[in-house]
């Protein structure tokens, strides 16, 4: 009897392992890309000069420098770096040319938030933009662009209209995009990198820095509107979307690319606008970010031209999962899928307390930010081992930190001081 049950149990285990193997591909956010994994290229570790010659024929990534860096006081160049799943990420480098900057302060890497690209750092003129502020202060400014950014150079195999192009979630930004770009900047400059992350760009760094060696490339980190555990977000649109399971509805409808100005976006708004908490007749931006105090109204049409880019449905779904569970974990595939992907019923969590205390960190957050809620930021601070410098701006909402017209004095000056001491 005993032998028999052991035998049948081992048979069941063997079958489960087989099924698990078969399902493994389907249970990874980047499943499709990994099955067509291209031969590794050395682009991401090339030096700046080498990388300059590898800039791919621009498709969508055309013209970041021409569009946003029009002042002759700055030089701007673009690089293409390839992730190991075949995305050609755009990285721009901006340096101050005039007046000549005497002291080179090292590389600064700026990483944007969800549904935007690297342009968010250069939308305002001069000292109202963090990229120009840092360049004028003597930093080599490197701007990152996630795989979904308009300014990336696409994918080696897939087009943006392909479903496969959008088959990834936030975990892939943690494990692929950020390391690829940060290693590129580090190996191009051979210096520790000053990191600036905004919103999802901060969130991604928290997760990546908690996982080991990448953090060793970083000198200091400034996180703006930091997001990690999101138990307390108050954004009416985000909350309605999460609790009405808009992500699940859209995924089930077979949509894979999410853009507020597309079919998926309209369906999304159809769902969230039925919530009494959301006022869809009102300014949509404030309904998402909180009431931004300090945007220059005259420039709103310009911001609107570039605002709200696409992201993947799976990325959005992962954010929604975190809101619903209060966790800070990997993609939740459901019990069976989790068993297959992670050998546990629940997705593994990123451990914020594993970020080394030795990493100097600044957290800048706002009193009216409905996505990076003060209570969530307080929880984040309590979990971190280090003792971050806190910059609190009571009137600021989510958008003010990157395009607020007074962010130069209220935020960027603090970042400069933090980097230099
Ligand atoms: C707002 O932006 C416009 C256009 O860039 C500019 O002319 C104006 O001076 C700005 N206003 C303020 C208060 O910064
Ligand atoms: C938020 O914004 C309102 C005005 O919209 C302001 O009165 C308030 O002081 C701000 N800060 C906080 C922490 O609520």
φ/ψ (deg, to 5) at 151: -95, 5
Q: Give the pLDDT confidence score for residue 398 in this predicted structure.
A: 94
Any ligand 1 atom below 6 A from CB of 127: no
Q: What is the pLDDT of residues 129-168, one digit of tens each?
A: 999 999 999 999 999 999 999 999 999 999 999 999 999 9
374 C-beta closer than 6 A to ligand 2: no
Q: Which two tokens stand for residue 32?
A: 């499709």
CB 154 within 8 A of CB 160: yes
Mutate which of 296, 302, 410 to test ligand 1's pocket (most atoms within 8 Å of Cβ)? 296
| Nearest ligand, CA 368 | 2
Choice from 234, 367, 396 to test ligand 2 binding pocket (greatest atom count within 8 A of CB): 367
pTM score: 0.86
User: What pLDDT is attached to residue 279?
Assistant: 82
Cis peptide before 99 (omega within 30 of 0): yes
pLDDT tens-digit readout, 239-256: 888 888 888 888 888 889
- Whether 229 shows a pLDDT value over 60: the answer reads yes
Ligand 2 pocket residue status of 286, Cβ below 6 Å = no
Residues annotated as catalytic are: 199, 369, 398
Q: Are 220 and 418 in contact (CB under 8 A)?
A: yes
**Which CATH fold would you assign to the domain 2-420?**
Rossmann fold (3.40.50)
Beta bridge partners of 144: 91
What ranges do the domains of the chain cover? Answer: 2-420
pLDDT tens-digit readout, 341-390: 999 999 999 999 999 999 999 999 999 999 999 999 999 999 999 999 99
Distance, in Å, from the CA atom of 264 to the CA atom of 313, rounded to the nearest integer, reads: 9
């Amino acid at each position: 009897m005993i032998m028999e049950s052991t035998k049948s149990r081992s048979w069941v285990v063997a079958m489960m392992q087989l099924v698990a193997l078969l399902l493994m591909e389907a249970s990874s956010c980047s499943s499709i890309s990994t099955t067509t994994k291209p031969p590794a290229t050395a682009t991401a570790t090339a030096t700046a000069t080498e990388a300059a010659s590898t800039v791919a024929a621009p498709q969508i990534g055309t013209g970041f420098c021409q569009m946003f860096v029009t002042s002759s006081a700055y030089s701007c160049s673009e690089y293409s770096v390839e992730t190991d799943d075949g995305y050609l990420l755009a990285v721009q480098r901006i340096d101050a040319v005039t007046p000549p900057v005497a002291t080179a302060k090292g590389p600064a890497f700026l990483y944007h938030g969800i549904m935007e690209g690297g342009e968010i750092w250069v939308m305002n003129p001069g000292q109202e933009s963090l990229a120009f502020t840092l360049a004028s202060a003597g930093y080599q400014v490197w701007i990152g662009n996630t795989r979904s950014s308009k300014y990336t150079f696409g994918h080696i195999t897939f087009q943006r209209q392909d479903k496969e192009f959008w088959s990834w979630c936030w975990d892939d930004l943690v494990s692929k995009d950020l390391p690829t770009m940060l290693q590129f900047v580090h190996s191009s400059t051979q210096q520790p990198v000053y990191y600036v992350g905004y919103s999802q760009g901060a969130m991604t760094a928290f997760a990546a820095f908690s996982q080991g060696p990448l953090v060793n490339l970083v000198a200091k980190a400034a996180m703006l509107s930091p997001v990690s555990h999101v138990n307390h977000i108050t954004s009416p649109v985000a909350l309605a979307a999460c609790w009405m399971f808009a992500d699940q509805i859209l995924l089930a409808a077979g949509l894979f690319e999410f853009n507020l100005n597309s079919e998926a976006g309209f369906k999304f708004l159809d769902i969230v606008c039925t919530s009494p908490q959301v006022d869809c007749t009102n300014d949509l931006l404030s309904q998402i970010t909180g009431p931004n105090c300090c945007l220059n109204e005259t420039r709103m049409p310009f911001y609107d031209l570039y605002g709200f880019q696409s992201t993947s449905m799976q990325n959005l779904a992962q954010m929604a999962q975190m809101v619903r569970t209060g966790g800070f974990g990997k993609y939740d595939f459901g019990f069976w899928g989790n068993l297959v992907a992670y050998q546990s019923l629940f997705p593994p969590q990123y451990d914020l307390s594993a970020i080394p205390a030795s990493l100097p960190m600044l957290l800048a957050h706002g009193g009216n930010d409905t996505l990076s809620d003060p209570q969530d930021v307080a929880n984040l601070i309590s979990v971190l081992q280090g003792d971050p410098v806190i910059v609190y701006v009571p009137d600021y909402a989510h958008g003010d930190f990157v395009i607020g017209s007074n962010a130069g004095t209220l935020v960027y000056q603090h970042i400069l001081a933090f980097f230099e001491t």
